[in-house]
Structure 1
Amino acid sequence: MAAITSIRSLTLDLPPSCIAFCPTLPQYFVVGTYFLHPEEEQQSAAAQDDEVTSADEDVQQKRSGSLILFRLEGDEIIHVVTKTTDFAVLEAQWTPHNEGLGYLLAVATSTGQLVLYRLETTSDSVDLIPLSLNVVADPSVLVLSLAWHPKRADIIGITLSNGDVSLCTVTAAKSWSEDASISVMRVHHHELEAWTLAFTGPGSTSILSGGDDVALQHSLVNFDEHEGSIVQWRDRKLHQAGVTAILPLTSDLVVTGSYDDHIRLIACSAGARRYVLAELNLGGGVWRLRILAASESLNMEGVGTLSASKRIVMLASCMHAGARVVRLHRDEDGSYKFEVVAVFEEHQSMNYGSDARPSSSNKKSIISTSFYDRLLCLWRFDVGSVT
């Protein structure tokens, strides 16, 4: 197991909550930040507000943040532009659908909104342009995560702090423009915060979500008719704490992360009993997962097996334990196994966001962040050595 050191590092102005490289302009990446204003500051401000009629009235704690666009050139991290926001950013994801839409970034906010930005580039400038602001929940509700539908550009799935898992669908012009009309449909509900979701199954007609209620939950959705959804199953026996990350590998195999510090490979075939095929304690809550490399192409439309000797290399953001590079492989005897092949432990606080620059090269450039110390680091790992 390799211990990796940073090539470059810098300290941000605000705590970073998420990071995402642009898949089609891979030299650019965005960092979202999250700042919870001190309660004393907000009580003081509220006391001076003419609209506050009682000193005992509850004051909703204020959150703000920013979106910071960087460019990665070799070993240099170059700041491009910062967009301050009156909301905290919980997650940001670039669309996989660029045709006719441009480089769109969807942002999950602390104020019940789903905000769209467009990355605009000219010969002499690069900027993040606000495109649309969509109210998807009450302002007191946090949008905790989001996922673009892999096949349909008009659908984004979201999870909320009130436990709801919902679909946001453009209902006019099929474009996330300023005057777009969207509908919000609740798919299913968790008893506590819904932390994450993913589209799964043939045609990506299923939604799998995880919550703080320790539940992994699966629903079928009729996307075309918008007639609601059907909950297929809900499992609270697979994890020992909240489910925080879901990474589908095939239509019937998913990798999950949990607050219980474990990464798991789970078989979840339709109509069959769910069970854990492999698991490993990574030393910290597994907040996010990214695929770095696979020895053969993954088939989301296929059956739930991985061929023998297959290797999948993943990047795990492990909260207080830093970042891990994890290999999943299947032996000739059919058994699956996770193995930590590299660790990055320069972060001194919660590692919520890590991502790798999209590249066909085996040597991956990785940016990882940590929350309270506001640290952003560049490091590299050669996936060719473990695939």
Structure 2
Amino acid sequence: MGDSSEKWPEPVSSLQSMQLDLPPSCIEFCPSAPSYFLIGTYNLEGYEGPAAAQTAEAKEIEAQDEDIDKDEAVVTGEKEGPQNRNGSILTFQLVADQLVHVQTLMQPSAILDLHFNPAPGKQDMCAAVSSTATLALFRLSAGEAEPLKHLKTMDMASMCKTAEDWLGDKDEVIFTHFSWHPTKPDMVAVTTTAGYVHLIYLGRDLDGSDWVMHPEPILTHTLEAWYVSISPSLSPPEEEDNDSFLLLSGGDDSALRYQVCKRTRSVHAMEDDESESPYTIEALRPPVNVRGHGAGVTAILPLGLKDGESELVVTGSYDDHIRLFSIPAYGFGRAVELAESNLGGGVWRLKIVKKEMGLLDGQGWRLTMLVSCMHAGTRVVELSKSGAGEYEFLVIGRFEEHKSMNYGSDCQLSAEGTLAVVSTSFYDKLLCLWKLELGA
């Protein structure tokens, strides 16, 4: 089930690297304009304690310099207390194996996560969540001198009548991650440092006129919630506005939690009432805890594949392991771990790069994933299913020039099978470009 680092290939070398002005926390290519990508940055002003973007490993490194930091705080007159953060969103273009900086949009809060909408016709729209519990929407227009335009920012505390119950002092709560619904462009889920997972309705036109947050958390953790993922049912929904989905979240409490929900058009919502969602969310079964992680769960990737009647989900944890689980989301039984591998660093982010189905007499398949591994750098990992139904992780590429936390990586795969990767690291503010040949 494991993977020995002695069998790993030699590290790949960078084609280009540069230092950014602020620490990068997230990165993503634009689906509608594939040569463009965005980087979110996270800046703490002065000494004010660990950032939410830093997990246990980052905190441990920071603690080594704690005495020095406190001395500097005394000299500058800084006091320990609520964190004051800002950030930016950088627009880059990958042109002929060169990273070209196009635009910088400074932000009043630090950016923890950003993603483009996956829905057809909406893929030029990007949302970002921040250190002050806001969600901002942007549009990227390729070819313009300043392609990224800010459209709307939603302050969650002012949008929700019960915000004080779950936010308290909003300056102390951070949105750590969010996910778009993969097929419903008007719906997102967000995680908070308070340990809650909330669903947000962004309206049909995503223009900010009728954004609504469902007032009660849909899932909860006892410590910070780090990640949320929405997976539609593998069975076709009966109706457009009456469908079920699987919501999965991971937290600092080492818990992977999931719940099967149904979104139904509400009969109570008034057309002219912008404070009430036109949808109700119904939990079809109580939340389920999945055990097996040795530390916080920081990445969750539903594969859209089944093992029998259970859904296959890959997870990452800052216990250095990547794991494959079968989850009987729409039936009964317990989740089962099918495979795991120690990648040498905390598994912070996962992305499917390539799918090869119908291998080995039509019974097997192989997925290639890009993995951000915090202090260990970036890995390219294959997950395969044999014809006999056995699963295995295999490291086929690695990049280790980053000298601090690799929180963000993304890539483009050419028709010839060349993987072009842009990866970042937090403390040294490094952005790197490198390539790996996967084959057509």
Instruction: Give the TM-score taking structure 2 as reference length.
Output: 0.78
1:163 touches 1:194 (CA, 8 Å); kept in 2?
A: yes
Q: 1:341 aligns with which of 378, 396, 399?
A: 396
Q: Single out whichever of 198-207 and 340-349 deviates more from structure 2.
A: 198-207
CA distance in structure 2 between the aligned counterparts of 1:85 and 1:332, rounded to whole angstroms: 50
Name the structure 2 match of 1:160. Answer: 192
What residue in structure 1 maps to residue 107 of structure 2? 85
Match of 2:116 in 1: 94
- In the TM superposition, what is the alpha-carbon distance from 1:360 to its structure 2 partner? 3.9
Equivalent runs, 1:78-157 vs 2, <5 Å: 78-99=100-121, 101=122, 103-121=124-142, 124-137=144-157, 138=167, 139=170, 140-157=172-189
Q: In structure 2, what is the equivalent of residue 22 of structure 1? A: 30
- Report the CA distance shift for 1:332/1:108 in structure 2 as closer, same or farther (over 3 A): same
- Which one-letter code corresponds to 1:336 in the other structure? Y
Q: Distance in 2 between matches of 1:167 and 1:43?
A: 42
Which residue does 2:57 correspond to in 1?
A: none
1:183 matched to 2:223 = no
Q: Give the letter aligned to residue 94 of structure 2.
A: L
For 1:1-387, list aligned pairs within 5 A.
1-39=9-47, 59-99=81-121, 101=122, 103-121=124-142, 124-137=144-157, 138=167, 139=170, 140-171=172-203, 174-185=204-215, 186-200=217-231, 201-202=233-234, 205-225=245-265, 226-230=280-284, 232-249=286-303, 250=305, 252-270=311-329, 271-296=332-357, 308-357=363-412, 359-384=414-439
Single out whichever of 191-200 and 136-145 deviates more from structure 2: 136-145
Root-mean-square deviation (CA), in Å?
Answer: 2.4
Moved more, 36-45 or 268-277: 36-45
* Helix, strand or coil at the partner of 2:154: strand
Q: State how far apart, in whole Å, the 2-side matches of 1:246 and 1:43 are.
A: 41
CA spacing shift, 1:13–1:154, aligned 2, 3 Å: same
Q: Please list the CA deviations of residues 202-245 of structure 1 after superposition, one character each: whole Å capped at 9, or x if unmatched.
A: 35611011111111111122222414435544325221111000
Q: Aligned to 2:439, what secondary structure does the other structure show?
A: helix
- Equivalent in the alignment of 1:300: none
Give the stretch that moved more between structures: 162-171 or 133-142: 133-142
Is the contact between residue 300 and residue 316 of structure 2 (CA under 8 Å) also seen in structure 1? yes
Please give the alpha-carbon distance, in whole angstroms, between the structure 1 residues aligned to 2:25 and 2:322. 20
1:358 CA drift (Å): 5.5
Which of 319-328 and 179-188 deviates more? Answer: 179-188
Aligned to 1:301: none
* CA-CA distance at 1:88 after TM superposition: 0.4
**Amino acid in structure 2 at the alignment position of 1:224:** T
Q: 1:227 to 1:199 in 2, by over 3 A?
A: closer
The 2-side partners of 1:347 and 1:44 are apart by 31
Residue 182 (structure 1) shift = 2.1
Code of the aligned partner of 2:31: P
Paired-residue identity, %? 40
**3-state SS of paired residue (2:401):** coil
Q: Cα 1:227–1:324, aligned 2, differ >3 Å: closer, same or farther?
A: closer
Distance 1:119 1:285 in 2: 32
Q: Which moved more, 1:204-213 or 1:27-36?
A: 204-213
How far is 1:175 from its partner? 1.8
Segment of structure 1 superposing worse, 68-77 or 184-193: 184-193
Change (3 A) 1:223 1:42: farther
Moved more, 346-355 or 222-231: 222-231
Q: Go from structure 1 to structure 2 and tell me whether the alpha carbon gap of 1:163 and 1:39 turns closer, same or farther (over 3 Å shift).
A: same
* In 1: Cα distance, 2:130 partner to 2:416 partner: 34
Deviation at 1:74, TM superposition (A): 1.5
Question: Following TM superposition, by how much is the alpha carbon of 1:307 offset from its aligned partner in structure 2, in angstroms?
Answer: 6.0
Tell me the CA shift for residue 102 of structure 1: 6.1
Letter in 1 for 2:112: L
Where structure 1 has 5 or more consecutive residues not aligned to the other structure, the ranges are 48-54, 298-305
CA distance in 2, matches of 1:365, 1:354: 11
Q: Give the deviation of 1:333 after TM superposition.
A: 2.3
TM-score, L = length of structure 1: 0.88
Contact 2:116–2:123 (Cα < 8 Å) also in 1: no
Q: Which residue of 1 aligns with 2:56?
A: none
Structure 2, unaligned runs of 5 or more:
1-8, 49-71, 158-166, 238-243, 266-279
